[in-house]
Structure 1
């Protein structure tokens, strides 16, 4: 049997328990508006959401909107993000984004327009679009999805997030794209961790490893 021959609707049915559990659950980044989300998503690349949440209040007290960020410069921004990984590069990205967009109401919400901005790839764009509740054009494939999706048996193992996203888009129906990536991510954050808590998993009965071995991987 080829694990990857399941039809789209069959996988949607199998994954329904995590969609029900996590649908519309807010992203772990503690943002309060779309501007903050964009900034925090850019800062979170190769860093933890928890770290970005820690530095965010002081950062946004100084730079409360896109206009204030656009009027600033890298040297003024860096002290507020110096605890973030690759802060120098990210400072350049954020200043360029702000100077391109200028105002909060100009923040774009399509895949092409978001990924045209410095520091925003498909994963980040998918997160922004999901949190903004606009139609999905892809599937969030963060590090948790990259780890968990193959473990479940959805796709072959890969470390390439773009490849993982494309494979998921091929096997999952478009009507769940907006929520399924984050649902798998939340599962990976809470239950299907590197050392998984299989007894708590709502989809262990369809999990490839669990089904094959009768136990956690």
Structure 2
């Protein structure tokens, strides 16, 4: 089997997971764009499950950007203290809220999103993807970093930006919007550190499975 996408038709090979996970919502349990943006900022170096657990109390206290914009660290800390690096993230959120002021002002383009503190290209792509805006890149979270090389799409790289760039070189733009989250969901549910290959829909084109 030819590896690393040189001659493989990865659109065809990955179609089973594109179909399986098409339009699947992100695991962050948000109810609107404001909540999604806040939760994406908080989720850096933390688990979606942890962010989901603190979200109800946080958004009960701060239901919109207007309420967050008039808050401060001392008031916000108790609601996000279980989040990794919560002090820095509080500063980011308060600055974003003071800049945007209202939920209607949340931008939905890459350049404006990454201009906000705490929102990099990966986070911006999550926000755009969940808002049905065409992708400007491929989402490469920890699951994608682990699973994409295992499948054989790219060589193993322990770096999100390099993984994203490699994937963008190999995969056509037409699938960028969904393939990152499709691989991520595969990694969350099936292709875990101890993979359950019997349930995987792409074993015929998987490097790991075919080299076992």
What is the CA–CA distance in structure 1 between the aligned matches of 2:80 and 2:5, rounded to whole Å? 46
SS at match of 1:4: coil
Who is 1:109 aligned against?
A: 108
Give secondary structure in 2 for the equivalent of 1:15: helix
After superposing the two structures, state which structure 1 stretch, 118-127 or 29-38, moved more. 118-127
Matches within 5 A, 1:7-156: 7=7, 10-156=9-155
Using the alignment, how far apart are the partners of 1:160 and 1:130 within structure 2?
Answer: 21
SS in 2 for 1:29: coil
CA shift for structure 1 position 73: 1.2
SS in 2 for 1:6: coil
Query: Which shifted more, 190-199 or 63-72?
Result: 63-72
- TM-score normalised according to structure 1 size: 0.95
CA RMSD of superposed structures (Å): 1.2
1:113 Cα deviation (Å)?
1.2
Once the two structures are superposed, what CA deviation does each residue of 1:82-134 show, in whole Å capped at 9, x if it has no partner? Answer: 11111101000000111111111111112211111111111111111110110
Distance 1:113 1:139 in 2: 18
- Tell me what 1:166 maps to: 165
Structure 2 SS opposite 1:23: coil
5+ residue gaps, structure 1, are: none
Q: Which moved more, 1:159-168 or 1:182-191?
A: 159-168
Task: Specify the SS of the correspondent of 1:27.
Answer: coil
**Contact 2:5-2:154 at 8 Å conserved across structures:** no
For the 8 Å contact 1:122–1:162, the answer to whether it is kept is no
Stretches of structure 2 lacking an aligned partner (at least 5 in a row): none
TM-score (norm 2): 0.97
Question: Quick one: distance in 1 between partners of 2:44 and 2:82?
Answer: 13
